[in-house]
Structure 1
Amino acid sequence: MLIREAKLADANAIAKVHIDTWRTTYRHIMPEDFLANLSYEKRETGWAQILSNTVQDNFTYVVEDVGQIVGFANGGLEQTNDPIYKGELNAIYIVEKYQGQGIGHNLVSTIAARLVQLNVSSMLVWVLADNPACKFYESLGGQLVKEKLIERGKVEFVEVAYGWTNTRSLLINS
């Protein structure tokens, strides 16, 4: 498996992983019609915009297996001026059959390493409270630090934030 920085040409593959993973991860959490109506084209357009941005404080990495993108993570500076958490893991998605193999830990470590390069020593990630990935963030030492309500598909969900005050603790090769 290869982890590398994403390129604009990856937008289509990232969009596919993003939507396919939402559909498997959230199938018992979010409304079926909401998940069924997710658009690969819209998601690809969104990822093309993100990947076209040349600002160095937002970055995306992909995981390839035999030339096929099977996961990705996006991170950068926290955008609400949080007084404690200066970095953010904005998204991390791995195709279901590749989950549980350490890829997620490698991606989180890669995002944390990039934040360390920017002299950012803290990070948080927002996740649906019912998402099975909560256990993953806890296993990496994430502390439950915030909670808010969000709406998806005309349904309200609780979203929680896990935080790390020392991003270096997430580095695999530290």
Structure 2
Amino acid sequence: MRIRTAELQDADSLARVHVDSWRSTYAGILPDEFLAGLSYRDRESFWEQVLTTARPTVSNFLAETASGHVVGLAAGGPERTGNKNYLGELYLVYLLEQYQRRGLGRLLVSAVAERLLADGFDSMLLWVAKDNHPACRFYEALGGELIDSRTIDIAGAGVAEVAYGWQQVADLLTDQAGV
């Protein structure tokens, strides 16, 4: 397994991981019809736009097998909600269900954290669905502190989210050897 920067030619693979991980992760949290309606093509267009739009302090990483099969992704950059206590934000981390609990999520978070530090963001937060209990436990295991909550609308459903924060992004750096 390896973590690397996502490139334009990865857009289709990123789309598949994005859609498939949403369908498995958010079943029972988001409306079934919304999840069923997620489109690989729409997500591929989304990732093509993300990967061709120049945003110097936004990073996009992927996790892939030795054979080049993309199994996870993560993105981060400047904090987007105006929180003055946290400069950076982990925008997303998604792994195919069968690749979870293998250390790849930790490595993806570490890759984003390393880039945030390089860009001068020494603190970080993230937002996660409150009912996504495995993800909440994961962020707590990484030392995240519960710092905020909100409700957002996704497909007409009010989704409760919580924010986890790290005052020191450096605490999230890991040795990527051997995974």
Q: TM-score range by the shorter chain?
A: over 0.9
- For residue 153 of structure 1, report the CA deviation from its aligned partner: 2.1
- For residue 79 of structure 1, report the CA deviation from its aligned partner: 2.1
User: Structure 1 vs Structure 2: percent identity of aligned residues?
Assistant: 46
Output the amino acid matched with 1:142: G
Cα distance per residue 1:129-149 (max 9 Å; x no partner): 000200000000001111111
Is 1:42–2:42 an aligned residue pair? yes
Instruction: Please name the residue that 1:20 is paired with.
Output: 20
Matches within 5 A, 1:3-152: 3-65=3-65, 66-131=67-132, 132-152=134-154
Cα distance per residue 1:97-145 (max 9 Å; x no partner): 0000000001101100001111211001100000020000000000111
- For residue 58 of structure 1, report the CA deviation from its aligned partner: 0.6
Say how many residue pairs are matched: 174
- For residue 42 of structure 1, report the CA deviation from its aligned partner: 1.1
- For residue 16 of structure 1, report the CA deviation from its aligned partner: 0.6
Local SS of the residue matching 1:113: helix
CA distance in 1, matches of 2:106, 2:81: 25
Instruction: Please name the residue that 2:170 is paired with.
Output: 168
CA distance in 1, matches of 2:80, 2:30: 26
Provide the aligned C-alpha RMSD in A: 1.2
CA distance in 2, matches of 1:152, 1:117: 33
User: TM-score under structure 1 normalisation?
Assistant: 0.97
Please list every run of 5 or more consecutive structure 1 residues that lacks an aligned counterpart in the other structure: none
- For residue 33 of structure 1, report the CA deviation from its aligned partner: 0.6
